[in-house]
Each structure stands twice: as structure tokens, then as C-alpha cells.
Amino acid sequence: MVIIVTGVSGSGKTTVGTLLSQKTHLPFFDADDFHPSSNVEKMTQGIPLSDQDRAPWLENLAIHIKDWEKSGGAILACSALKEAYRQKLQVNSNIFWIHLKGEKVILEERLQNRENHYMNPGLLDSQLETWEEPEYGLHVDVSKNPEDIVKDIFTHLNFDKMKSKLGIIGMGVMGKSLALNFVENGIGTSVFNRTVPGKEEKVATDFVEEHKEFPLLKGFDALDAFLQSLETPRKILLMIPAGVAVDAQLEQLSADLSPGDIVIDGGNSFFEDSNRRVENMLTKGIHFMPMGISGGEEGARKGPSLMPSGNTEAFSLIQEYLQKIAAKDKNGNACMTYVGPEGSGHFIKMVHNSIEYGEMQVIAETVHLLRFGLRLSPPEISRIIKDWISDGLKNYLLEITTDIYLTKEKDEFLVDLILDVAGQKGTGGWSLGTALKHHVAYSPLAEAVTARQLSAKKNDRIELAEIFKHRFRAFGEDKVLLMERIKNAYTLCRIINHETGYSLMKEVSDENGWNLNFSEISRIWTNGCIIRSSLMEELVHVFKETDSLLKHKKTVSKIKELKVDLTFIVGLGLQHEFALPVMSAAANYLLGRIIENSSANILQAQRDYFGAHKYQRKDDPNGEFHHTDWLLLKKQSGK
């Protein structure tokens, strides 16, 4: 909705409009700010504006009102003295008119006390003569105090009967945080949660009751009432667990939705399931939009990174809302973009999570080396990491690690009290399976998944550690020098982690014809998401010049500079019995990518020997496949 507060100068349009904005969380605009400079000059001199003066101003406001309505609404303070002016602004039915009226003596007193405004008090008589009393809208006496005026307006508007712009199904942590994000940005939102007797009862209505400060937030415990509360075409965001729950919810909704309605899956669904759902819902005339969301609870509340995909027509209807709630990049643009067709939004979120797995694991390996290889205390590690962040390694995961290593519970560091068993929710495994399916080398990020799986075998690890008498051995080398080499190893490992993930995205994009824009994907990952970093900001520019991180000139120079330290630290760590799965896999991945003559010729010879699988020859320019009778050659050679 758009609320237009009208009245002559001094009636309190700006005061009332600002209060309405604060309570509804709709943005406030003053129509005076849209006047061309020629009009401002006239009013400053006390010269009344003509209809000809106002025409372009009103046309400009009408355009903005259409845009505001699309993006959720706004509050506009505008004199709109004549009915003809108001009709030019009545661009849709979702406009609510509030007309402020007052005695001339009150208006004159207010104008005399107003500072820093170009409106000449002498124009009041002209405005009162021009004012045409409207027969619609709410008429309010300005002799009341502004707070009482706003109460009257709220009673008149009756928010409970207004249709919401968007609905959310699923009031878990993420669903609740996103709902508050939407309404705080002035987007009317209805929420619904299933009822499970004794476990989940009145979740949605209780949530709304706890947040009465948001009049645009509505809660429903019945699905029918929830659906009826939404404007058409209905836009519904699912924030429920991935898998069968999504299919069940879609089946239930399909009976009640209409052609053109939009369902957005904001959970971590597997992208191949999302591909299927897009096609299935399309046969029913319903738009299904898979959308990756990253940022956790804090991101969902304050600004996540959003990765919508699917139907472009449906995206155009929700784009404005998503732009409002998304995090902003360093240029102030929303960390949200249309990713591509089908389930590509869920696909890149899956890859994002696997890069996240790798980034978390390499930090764990790095700080483990500092703690037990260099024998540094948690505060020392925190200080060193802060120095790294200041020296070009800024990233969210490293930043929170500095906090983790300073946090104490009584006299002990909390990190030392946490059981070394890591959980996972499946997206890392999906990425590995997808990489295998598409024949993409994925070893660094695959090892991050494996490390979590090994961590879960705590009892088995305790038993085997005793059998093998495993103990970390401290390094004897110079600490200062080793800290620099560990930093370099960490730096290069991060580059390889990202290169691995982007390689998978490129392969799957090419095979599916998605035409993913890796520079734009990097941009929306510069803020709001878990893997946001200064490196990601560099990738925005890298992928404008190349589709391979390993072929970018600047990256090549950095890799050449750092790879000696990565291989050295891996070797040193293994010699001192540190498990370094991601670091060692990254080193092997890199060497495997840049080596001209690998050991794979032996593999092909073996395959042909025992299975006649054939091989290609270096001296065959045509690349034909050959088979050798190895046993015959053995006999002929006399061996």
C-alpha cells in the first residue's frame, strides 16, 4: 500500500508521515523533495505555483508511486491541494488518503516556528484558497497531537483486513528471521506453521503476538486463512526441511493455489529435486522458484545473500521484495541476483556450502598447527589471526575464529571444552556426489566432508589413538618463520578451495546450458553469506576476465609465490603427525592440475593389461585408441 498524507503547509504532513513510517516500517518520502529547482526557487520567493509548474512534478510522483507499490509500499507527504492533482497520483487502488485539516491560526503559528524550509509562510493564503475538499479518505483535525492522529489513522486503515504481499510457511529460526526482515522493510507478510499437538501449537500466532510492533505482520495457524490473507498472484516462501517435506507441502498447496501463483523454496533442497519440482509445478500453472539463502540466523534477520532461480516471469514479481531484504555489497547493491533456470539457485547454494566446508576445515587445520605445533596460547592465536585479517585475509569465518579463541567459561577457554565431533546437514555430501557424477576433481572439498565424518567416530578414535600411541609433536623450527609459512599455506589453500567449487559450477552450468555468471555470483557472495571475504571481492573482477581462477594472471603469480610454503607445511605437519586433509588435498590437487606429464600413463597401461581398455599414444597425432597384447610382448622379449 501507499499512504498519501495531504494538507496545506503547516498541517504536519511530514511529522505524521514520519511517525507512520516508524510504526509501519514503510519508507517515508516528502513530495517537496521531488520539485524541480525552478519550482523551489518560486516558492522560496513566495510566488505561488501554477498548474503548469506542478504538472511535471505530479507526473514524476506518479511514476514513483507505481514503483513504491511494487516494492511493498511507502508513506508520501504531499499537499495535493486540488482534486485534479490527487487524481494524477491515484495510479492504483492500493492508495490510502489521509487529509490533515486545521484552523488558519494554528497553521500560521506552525509555519512561523518552522526552520530550514524553503516554503514561504506568505503562501499559506494561496494554498488555503486552492485547497479542494475531497469526499474520500480519512479527514483528521491537526489540533490533536501527532501520536493521537497516528492512532486514528491506524484504526481507519484496519491492517488486519489488508492483504499481505508475501507469505512464509515454516516458522523455524530462519523463517522467523526472514519474516521480521520483510516487515521491517515495509513488506506486509503473513506467516503460517503447521500444528503438531503437544509439540508445535500456535507457533505462527504466538510469534506475531510477540512482535506487535510490526502491524504488517500477520500470523495464522490454519492454512486456508493464511492463503486467503495473501494478495494475488500469491507469493509463498517455504522455509521447511529439504526432502519429502517439500514435496508433501507442494502437494497440499497445489489443491488451493491458482495459475500464476508463486512458490519459493528457500530451504537447502538438492538442486536435482528442485529441477523436477519446477517442471512438475509448471504443469499445474504454478511458478516454482528454488532460492538459495545464505547467512544463517543473523543474515536472515539483517540481510542475507539470496540466490533465486527458476521462472523469470515469477522472479520479476518478487524481485523488489528480495532486493529490500538482501545484504548490500560495498557499492550499496543488493546481494541478490537471478541465478538462472531450473534449480540453479539451489545448485550454487550447495556449492557455496561445500566451499564453506573447505574454508572451515582449513581454518581448523591452521589453528591446530598454531596451537599444538607452535604451542601458542588461544589469545596469541587470536592476535595472530587478527593480524592476518588486517594483512589481506579478511573473511567472516576467520573473524569469528578470533572471537572463539578469546571466549572463556570461568577459567577455561570454551573451545577446549567443546567435543571434537563435527555435524553436517548433507549439502557437502551432495556436492561431492555431483562432482563425481560430472567427473569434476573435488578432492580438497571432499576431504572437508571426510574430516567431519572421521570426527564423528570419537570413541573409535580414542581407542586407536591409544593403540598407535599417537601424539602431536611440536615443531623445532623458528616460530616467526613458521607462522609466516603457515599463513601462506592457508592463503593458497583458500584459493584452491574456491577454484574447486567454481570448477564444479562451470561444468554443471555448461552441461545444463544455464550460462551462470560467476562474477555476479561472486558479487552476491561478498556480503550476507558465510563465505564472504576480501578474496570473494577479488573474484568479482577475476571472473570478468576469465572462467578459470588458475588461469588469471594475478592468481598465477600468487600461486607460484605460495605453493612452496603449502607443500612445506603439509610435509612438516604430516611428519609431526598432524592430520591435514584439506591442506594436503589442496597441494595434491594443485600439483595434479599443473603437471604436464603425470603418472596416469601407468594407470592406462595397467587397465589395458588386465582389461583391454585401450590407451592413446603420445606418438599418434590422430589420438586413436590402441591395445597391446602384453603377454605376447612379454614372451617375445624373453622375460
Inter-CA distances, 161 with 140, 216, 229, 416, 557, Å: 22, 11, 8, 54, 63
Same structural domain, 22 and 123: yes
Find all residues with CB under 8 Å of 27, minimum gap 6, and list them.
21, 68, 74, 75, 186
Same structural domain, 543 and 527: yes
| Predicted model pTM | 0.85
Query: Where a domain ends, among 137, 157, 177?
Result: 157
Same structural domain, 357 and 278: no
> Which residue of the set 324, 349, 487, 563 is catalytic?
349
Domain count of the fold of the chain: 4
Q: What is the CATH number of the domain that holds 177?
A: 3.40.50.720
Measured CA to CA, the distance from residue 436 to residue 218 in angstroms comes to 45
> What pLDDT does 386 receive?
97
Q: What is the CATH number of the domain that holds 492?
A: 1.10.1040.10
Measured CA to CA, the distance from residue 353 to residue 68 in angstroms comes to 35
Same structural domain, 141 and 263: no
- The low-confidence residues of the chain, meaning pLDDT below 70, are 112-123, 639
356 is catalytic: yes
Same structural domain, 123 and 197: no
Measured CA to CA, the distance from residue 427 to residue 465 in angstroms comes to 30
Q: What is the CATH number of the domain that holds 99?
A: 3.40.50.300
Q: What is the DSSP letter of 231?
A: P
> What pLDDT does 114 receive?
66
Q: What is the CATH number of the domain that holds 618?
A: 1.20.5.320
Same structural domain, 385 and 514: yes
> Which residue of the set 69, 184, 342, 356 is catalytic?
356
Same structural domain, 139 and 10: yes
Query: Using an 8 Å Cβ cutoff, are 335 and 291 in contact?
Result: no
Find all residues with CB under 8 Å of 406, minimum gap 6, and list them.
378, 379, 382
Query: Where a domain ends, among 277, 309, 342?
Result: 342
Query: Where a domain ends, among 97, 124, 157?
Result: 157
> What pLDDT does 604 receive?
94
Amino acid code (one letter) for 366: T
Bond preceding residue 290 cis, omega within 30 of 0: no
Same structural domain, 484 and 516: yes
Q: 423: helix, coil or strand?
A: coil
| Angle, vertex CA 116, rays to CA 110 and CA 118, nearest 5 | 85
For residue 13, what are the domain limits? 2-157
Same structural domain, 624 and 587: no
251 is catalytic: no
Same structural domain, 138 and 268: no
Same structural domain, 26 and 119: yes
Same structural domain, 276 and 354: no
> What pLDDT does 124 receive?
75
> What pLDDT does 363 receive?
98
